[in-house]
């Protein structure tokens, strides 16, 4: 016997309640827009641990600030104006090379510090100069030099104005006026060729850090890839790679550099390519050990049973767990790369002659012991840079260590 239920009649009260409900299409079920930006709990704990290490945290802030400023070295230290207005025309000499004939001269390159060009532009406009009116290759032509204790005028290098009480040599009044201009002072002195030490430090800092970052990145990619292949597959592949690495690591890098520098012209990319060929081996054993440990864990076995490819298992499941040990080692690799460039420049096997480099400045300090400001500038710049990186590396190591706790 079928039982039929009578439909419940709808009243006006029910209809009005249904009408007040928002349509389903307008209901917003999306998560808050900032949810994806939030870190996972474990990464929040790691970041909190890193910030709790005050020395590492403030070292990171100081290093990032210094490196960020050095990226704008052409605006901080340059022998060309940032902006200029000449006869109603807006110019950007820091970005565009204007010929001298534009200002009434005849040379292909304009020397904006030349008195004739300087007066010509100021007579028909104005110039906005950087805080330091020297580039890394600019020579101070307005310095009157200083007198020795015997009254003779000394040649380059010139001491900083705040570090010497020696009298200046006689010079024309207009030259002394240009020399005493705030932007024309050499606050850290000059080197043995009359170039501003502070300007060369800014440019040299940028080149050293960029070189170290690129070298560390490429070496890390190659080292992690080689170590992952060795550790994951093992067997004959691991044995062959290990024997190859033993042979490759025994090749003397310095001799290879000497041989190649006698054949190829020295340059940034040539030097970087040579060092990449030898620096990647430092990470291989570390990554290999992590993959050897992780390839037999249960979640990796389950991933194989699900039919995942070896590449996906290696870089999606094992590598995130092995990355902790790798990231701990990266800041120390960066400091080692910068030290390698500095050492090669000191030996004359690094960047081309005339390039701004911390190692070249240290070599000048060694060759000019009568100019202690060169040694002081080189020592404090190299020591400060490497100390910041070591402090950052210690902070990263402690932040990624699950046994470390901070209050």
User: Would you say 125 and 160 are in contact if contact means Cβ atoms under 8 Å apart?
Assistant: no
Q: Kindly state the helix (H) or strand (E) to which residue 55 belongs, with its residue range.
A: helix 54-70
Q: Is 109 exposed, middle or buried (0-12, 13-18, 19+ CB in 10 A)?
A: exposed
| pLDDT the model gives residue 404 | 66
What pLDDT, in 10s, does the model give residues 146-184?
888 777 888 889 889 888 888 888 888 888 888 888 888
| pLDDT the model gives residue 37 | 56
| pLDDT the model gives residue 20 | 53
**pLDDT grade, residue 10 (50/70/90)?**
low
Q: Is 234's pLDDT higher than 50?
A: yes
Which residues lie below 8 Å from residue 241, measured CB to CB, with a gap of 6+? 226, 229, 230, 284
| Cα(228)–Cα(289) distance, integer angstroms | 9
- Identify the CATH homologous superfamily for domain 197-400: MetI-like (1.10.3720.10)
User: Would you say 93 and 81 are in contact if contact means Cβ atoms under 8 Å apart?
Assistant: yes
pTM here?
0.84
> Beta partners for 195?
139
How many other CB atoms are there within 10 angstroms of residue 267's CB atom?
A: 14
What pLDDT, in 10s, does the model give residues 351-371?
988 899 999 999 999 999 989
User: Would you say 190 and 182 are in contact if contact means Cβ atoms under 8 Å apart?
Assistant: no
| pLDDT the model gives residue 384 | 94
| pLDDT the model gives residue 405 | 60
Of the candidates 182, 162, 183, 204, the residue with the CA atom closest to the CA atom of residue 66: 204
What pLDDT, in 10s, does the model give residues 89-136?
999 999 999 998 888 888 888 999 888 998 999 999 999 999 999 999
| Cα(161)–Cα(348) distance, integer angstroms | 30
What pLDDT, in 10s, does the model give residues 311-330?
999 888 888 888 887 888 88
Token readout for 43 is: 């990464």
Q: Is 145's pLDDT higher than 50?
A: yes
What does the domain layout of the chain look like in residue ranges? 197-400
């Amino acid at each position: 016997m079928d039982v039929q239920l009578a439909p419940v009649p709808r009243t006006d009260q029910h209809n009005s309640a249904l009408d007040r409900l928002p349509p389903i299409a307008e209901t917003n079920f999306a998560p808050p827009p900032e949810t994806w930006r939030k870190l996972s709990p474990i990464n929040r704990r790691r970041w909190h641990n890193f910030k709790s290490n005050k020395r590492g945290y403030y070292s990171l802030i100081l290093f990032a600030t210094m490196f960020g400023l050095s990226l704008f070295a052409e605006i901080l230290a340059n022998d060309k104006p940032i902006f200029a207005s000449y006869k109603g025309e807006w110019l950007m000499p820091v970005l565009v090379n204007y010929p001298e004939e534009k200002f009434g001269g005849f040379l292909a390159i304009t020397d904006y510090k030349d008195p004739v060009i300087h007066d010509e532009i100021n007579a028909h406009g104005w110039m906005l100069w950087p805080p330091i009116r020297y580039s890394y290759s600019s020579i101070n032509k307005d310095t009157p030099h200083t007198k020795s204790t015997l009254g003779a005028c000394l040649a380059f290098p010139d001491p900083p104005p705040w570090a010497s009480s020696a009298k200046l040599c006689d010079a024309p009044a207009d030259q002394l006026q240009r020399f005493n201009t705030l932007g024309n002072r050499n606050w850290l002195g000059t080197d043995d060729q009359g170039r501003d030490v502070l300007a060369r430090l800014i440019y040299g800092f940028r080149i050293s850090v960029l070189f170290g970052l690129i070298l560390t990145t490429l070496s890390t990619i190659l080292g992690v890839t080689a170590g992952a292949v060795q550790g994951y597959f093992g067997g004959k592949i691991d044995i062959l790679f290990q024997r190859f690495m033993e042979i490759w690591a025994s090749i003397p890098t310095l001799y290879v550099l000497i041989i190649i520098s006698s054949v190829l012209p020295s340059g940034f990319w040539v030097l970087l390519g040579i060092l990449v060929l030898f620096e990647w081996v430092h990470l291989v054993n570390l990554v290999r050990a992590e993959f050897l440990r992780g390839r037999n864990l249960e979640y990796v076995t389950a991933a194989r049973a699900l039919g995942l490819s070896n590449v996906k298992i290696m870089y999606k499941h094992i590598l995130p767990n092995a990355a902790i040990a790798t990231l701990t080692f990266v800041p120390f690799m960066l400091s080692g790369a910068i030290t390698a460039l500095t050492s090669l420049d000191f030996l004359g096997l690094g960047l081309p002659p005339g390039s701004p480099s911390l190692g070249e400045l240290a070599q000048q300090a060694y060759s000019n012991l009568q100019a202690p400001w060169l040694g002081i500038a080189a020592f404090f710049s190299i020591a400060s840079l490497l100390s910041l990186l070591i402090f950052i590396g210690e902070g990263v190591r402690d932040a990624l260590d699950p046994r470390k706790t901070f209050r």
